[in-house]
Amino acid sequence: MSGMLDVERINTYYGDSHVLFDLSMQVREREVVALLGRNGAGKSTTLKTLAGALRPRSGTIRLEGEPIELLPSYEIARRGLQLVPEERRIFSGLTVAENLELAALSAADPMPLPDIYAIFPRLRERRDSYGRSLSGGEQQMLAIARALIRRPRLILLDEPFEGLAVTIVQNLLEVCRALAAQGQTIVIVEQNVRAALSLADRAYVLDKGHIVFEGSTQDLRGSSEIMNRYLGV
């Protein structure tokens, strides 16, 4: 059965270095999928390949049945796939509101700012603050909000909890759970395995560019061998 996103045997390289090996995965509509593995396993490379920042040398990527692996990243974004990169990449010289308004300019039907602020009340409070003055947690909220304002069909979160205080992680988890409950399809890459598994329906585990596990989060929790060997949990 086809999913919202169907990835078939993609191979991605950095120059001559082969990073992803015949990687296949599927994301169904309205589900949350965790992509897990140790540092260097190929998780972020997978997200960048899906979003068009990297082009696979072979294999296919279909978004709602249409091939996208040869499309530029802006066209993939226009079709409803949004990447929230690990680096966040907010504009430090623009205010929170200006960051959001700029993201909305290229959206066909942008989410109204009051709706964004309802999801992230802290951004409403900081709407006139410049990006450079935001805390790490506030920057992450803004990075996610910039993607959401474009009403994505599928959102890719790359290490959204990295380096954040426990209370901020809990807040962001609650936001992600609320989005999932409303039907937002999400793929999350995260070193915080327990946080990711608490959010996701299914998981893939990568090791050196290969998928070594795919299944429900319940099955993954029940496999001490996979958890210990590939995730260090």
Same domain (yes/no): 141, 131? yes
pLDDT tens for 78-101 read 999 999 999 889 999 999 999 999
Same domain (yes/no): 224, 165? yes
Same domain (yes/no): 72, 162? yes
Same domain (yes/no): 18, 74? yes
Q: Which of 110, 129, 151 is the last residue of a domain?
A: 151
- pTM (whole model) above 0.75: yes
| DSSP annotation string for 148-188 | HTT--SEEEEESTTTT--HHHHHHHHHHHHHHHHTT-EEEE
Q: Which of 100, 116, 151 is the last residue of a domain?
A: 151
Looking at the structure of the chain, the number of domains it has is 2
Same domain (yes/no): 110, 134? yes
Provide the pLDDT for residue 2. 73
What's the domain range around 51?
5-80+153-231
What does the alpha-carbon distance between residue 41 and residue 39 come to, in Å, rounded to a whole number?
Answer: 6
Both tokens of 203, joined, read: 């998981």
pLDDT tens for 119-155 read 999 999 999 999 999 999 999 999 999 999 999 999 9
Q: Which of 151, 175, 198 is the last residue of a domain?
A: 151
